[in-house]
Structure 1
C-alpha cells in the first residue's frame, strides 16, 4: 500500500459525502491515521440523500440511534427525525472531526480506471463551478464508493398516458421546488412506498385534500416518534454508554421483526393489520388498502411515526385509492375503474432508480468491468476490481449499521496491505459460488436493477447477510488471506541491452 509520499495524489479516494462518506472519513482518520484521503462530492453540500430530498415531511424511516454514527451519539429527543435535523447532524459531525476539510465539492466522478502495472486508480472527474466545467484526473491507491445505490439525477419514471394533457402541476419528490405553495390545492400522490406515505400526511396539513393513489398496498407499521426507553436511559447513563445500549436494543428489534416475518408471516400480517385497524377503525378500508398480497418483508416495510397517516385518513384529510391509471385528463386522473380523481397537483412518488457508483462503469486496464458478472466479498469488495470497495447498507435495518462495519473492514484491509507489503488486493473465491441476487427483495426498484448489480454467493464471506449481529461478530474477525489475494507491486521490466 502506498504512503502519502508516493506518486499517487491520495492513498484513498472516497466518493460521496453523505452518511457513508463522512463515516468513512472518520474511520480512515482514526484507524488508518498515516493515510491521505479525499472525499469527492458532486453536489455543493454535505449530506447526500438528506441534502437532495427536500419534500414536505422528509424524515428517517429508521430510528436515529441506529442510523446515526456509533462514534457520535444522537442527542435529539426524537427517534424518528426530520430531514433538516439529520442533515445538521451530518454537517456537525464532519466539522467536529475535521472531515469537511477533506471534501472536494462540485467534483463529479465520470470514470475510473485501474492500472495493473502501477497498482493505481486514475479517477476522471469534472469540476463544476456555475456553467464552467473543468476535467481533470486524480490518482489513488484505493477507491471507496460511498455514493449510495440510487440515481441522484433521475427516479423511476413510468410513462403515464395523457400526461401532457394534464392542466395542473406535476412535482417530482426528488426535485421538490423551493417554496411550492400547495395550500388549498387538491393533491394526488401516486405511490405506496415510504415517500408517498411520508408526503400524504404532511401535505394534508395545508392542502384542500390529498389522495394517495396506489396500484397495490404496502405493509405499514406504526412506530413511536420518540423512544421513551431510550430517553430514560439517556437521562441516567453517560451519553456513549446509553447510545450503544439503545443502538443494540433497536437493532435487535428490527432484526427480530424481520426474522419473525420470515418465520411467521401469518402472525406478522395479523399484527400489521391490527395496527391499521387501531389507527383507521374501518375494517373494509384496511382490507382493501393496507393488506398486501405478499408477505411482510418480501418488500421493505414502511413505518409511520405515531400513526400520522392513519390519523389523517380517519379525519378525512387523506383518501387512499387502490386502482390503476387509465389516463391523465386536463382535470386530473381517470382510473381503470372509470373514477376520476380531480387534481391541481400530482406527485409521482413512483420509486427510485438503482445505480451503483454514481453510474460510473469502472475499467481495469482500459477494459470495462461488468458488475453483474462479479461477486461481492463481505458485502463490499468485488471479485473483478482490485483495491476497490463499495458501501451498501442493510435492507431490513439502518443503513449506517452495515456502513460503519464496512468502513472499518476497508481500514483493516488497507492496514493488512501495509503489513504484508502488498500493492494490490482483490477477492478470490475459495471454490465454486452459486450466484444469488445482491438484494433479496421483490420490490420493483430492486427487481428492475438485478441485471446491473453484482451477485452474492451462497456461503461464508460471499453471502450478504441481513443480520447486523452476525456481521458485527464476524466481519472484522475473518482471516483476510483465505479469500483475499494480496500481491506486491509489479517490478518494471528491464530494458534490453
Structure 2
C-alpha cells in the first residue's frame, strides 16, 4: 500500500484540476459531459482517470458470448447523444463503440488519462483539496496503470472528486462455493474474464446461474456448442423483449434521430414506471402475463414450473429481458436445456445433482455473480483517517455524509443504470456552481444530532438478490428525507435538476 496521498505544506493551495472523475465508463463520460457543458467558469478543468487503456468500463472489460444491455438501449444511452441504431437492445461491442464515439465527438476523450489507476485519495482540510495518488505509466513505456512494468506513483490535486467506478471488482472474480469444482478436469470459466477467441465448438457446456448473464449466454453459445445447459438453483422471471417493436419502428421512420430518440426514451421511462407500479400493486396479474408469454414460447417437454416459476413476486428481484425470446427459441430447437436443482458435487468429469441427475459437461461457466469493490478499491481518507463508506449515509444519492467535495455515482436498481448516473451528474454540477456563486470552496453533507439518533438505515438496493445483499453490506446507507435512496427516475430527475440542494449540505 502506498503512503497516504497527502503532502501538507507542499504546493499549498495548488490544484491540478477542478474535478477528477474516476472511471471512463458510461457514468464517467456522462459526468464529464455534464461538467463541461454545465459549469459557468470558462476555464473549468477536469480529467478522467481510467485504469484501463480504453473507454467503456464494464463494456470494455466484459467480452463473454452474447453480452448486451439488460434493458432497453434508449434509456441506457446518453440523453445528449441519440442512439444511432434501431434495435431495442444493444450488444456489448455496439455499446462500447457508442461510448467511444460519444467521448470523441464532445472532446471528452482528450481529457482522459488512460492507465491511471487511483490507489488512494486523501482530503486535505488545510488546503481544501483532494490529494489523489495514482499509478501511472512510467517514462520507459513498459508499464501500465495497474502497477506492472515501470509504472510509478504520482500525486494529483483536485478540488472535487467524482467516483464513476461502479461497484464491480474489475481485477478479481467472485469466489464461488461449488462443492468439488476444483476436481473438474475440463475448463471452468467466469464470464468476467472470458478468454479471447475461446473455441467451444461441439462442446457440452453447463452454465451455472439464472441471472441476466446466464440468460444472455445460453442462446448465444448454441450457435457453436453441441449443447448448452442452464443449471439453476432457483428460477428468475424472464420476459421476451422485441428487438424491433412495431411502434418503435414507426417512430424511427417518421422522425429524425434526435427526435425519435427522445420519444422512445420518454416512452420507455413511462412504461418502466407503469410496470413497477403494476408489479407493486397487482403482482398476480403481472405474474400471469409473464407466465402466458413464457408458456406460449416453451416446447411441450419444458414445463414452466419449476424452471420459470420463481418463489417471489415480479420486481422483488429484477426481471431478465430475453431479446425476441431467444432463450425460449434455443430450448425449442433442442440446442439448450434448463435444469433446476442443487449441486451435490463436481467430479473430474461430471456434475452430480441432489436429485440424482448427473451432467457430463466439457466446460463449466460460473455465471453466479460478480465480486464487489467500492470506489475501485482505492483507500479513501479524510486528513489521514480511513473512511468506512458502509457507515455513512448518502445525501441525495450522490454525496457521502461528512466527506467533503466527494461525489458518488449509483444508478437505479429497477431502471437503466445511466438514468441514475445522470441524476448524480446533474446534482454534482449544481452543487459546484452553488459554491462558486457564493465564493465558497467546500460542500459537506451533515446529519443533525437528532437525525443521527432517529434515522432508520435503509439499503440503497431493496431488491431481493444474493449479490445485492453483498453490495448493500459495502455501500453507503440510505435513510429518509434527503438521505433517501433513489427509487423513481422522473421524481429524482426533477430533484436533481431543480430541487433543494441546501438542506443538510454545509458549505464553507
TM-score range, shorter chain: over 0.9
Q: Would you say 1:159 and 2:177 are equivalent positions?
A: yes
Aligned equivalents of 1:297, 1:154: Cα separation in 2: 29
1:153 Cα deviation after fit: 1.6
> 1:309 maps to what in 2?
327
Written as runs of structure 1 = structure 2, the 5 A alignment for 1:413-432 is 413-429=431-447, 432=451
Gaps (5+ residues) in structure 2?
A: 1-11, 138-142
The equivalent residue for 2:101 is: 92
Within the alignment, does 1:62 sit opposite 2:71 as a pair? yes
Partner of 1:216: 234
| Whole-Å separation in 2 of the counterparts to 1:271 and 1:153 | 40
- Cα deviation 1:35-84 (Å, max 9, x = unaligned): 10000000110000110010111111111111111111012021201111
Verify the 8 A CA contact 2:299 2:331 in the aligned structure 1: no
| Alpha-carbon offset, residue 275 of structure 1 | 1.4
Equivalent-residue separation in structure 1 for 2:234 and 2:378 (angstroms)? 34
Q: Structure 1 residues 284, 343: closer, same or farther in 2, change over 3 A?
A: closer
Using the TM superposition, give the Cα deviation of residue 422 of structure 1 relative to its aligned residue in structure 2, in angstroms.
Answer: 1.3
Counterpart of 2:471 in 1: which secondary structure?
coil
Deviations 1:334-389 (A, max 9, x none): 11122111011100001122322112231111001111211111111111211001
1:42 aligned partner: 51
Q: 2:468 aligns with which of 421, 446, 450?
A: 446
CA contact (8 A) 1:354 1:446 kept: no
Aligned to 1:480: 501
Which residue, 462, 466, 470 being the options, matches 2:483?
A: 462
**Mapped partners of 1:51, 1:346: distance in 2:** 23
State the SS of the aligned residue for 2:345. Answer: strand
Secondary structure of the residue that 1:71 maps to in structure 2? coil
The aligned counterpart of 1:493 is none
SS in 2 for 1:456: coil
> Which aligned pairs between 1:227-306 and structure 2 lie closer than 5 A?
227-282=245-300, 285-306=303-324
Structure 1 runs of 4+ aligned residues shifted over 3 Å read 281-284
| CA RMSD across the alignment | 1.5
Inter-partner Cα distance in structure 2 for 1:468 and 1:316: 41
TM-score by length of 2: 0.92
Q: Residues 207 and 390 of structure 1: is their aligned pair in 2 closer, same or farther, counting only changes over 3 Å?
A: same
Distance across 2 between alignment mates of 1:407 and 1:475 = 9
Of 365, 369, 375 in structure 1, the residue corresponding to residue 393 of structure 2 is: 375
CA contact (8 A) 1:369 1:384 kept: no
| TM-score of the aligned structures, taking structure 1 as reference length | 0.94
Q: Which residue of 2 aligns with 1:329?
A: 347
Distance 1:397 1:163 in 2: 35
Find the aligned partners of 1:350 and 1:315 in 2 and give their Cα distance: 25
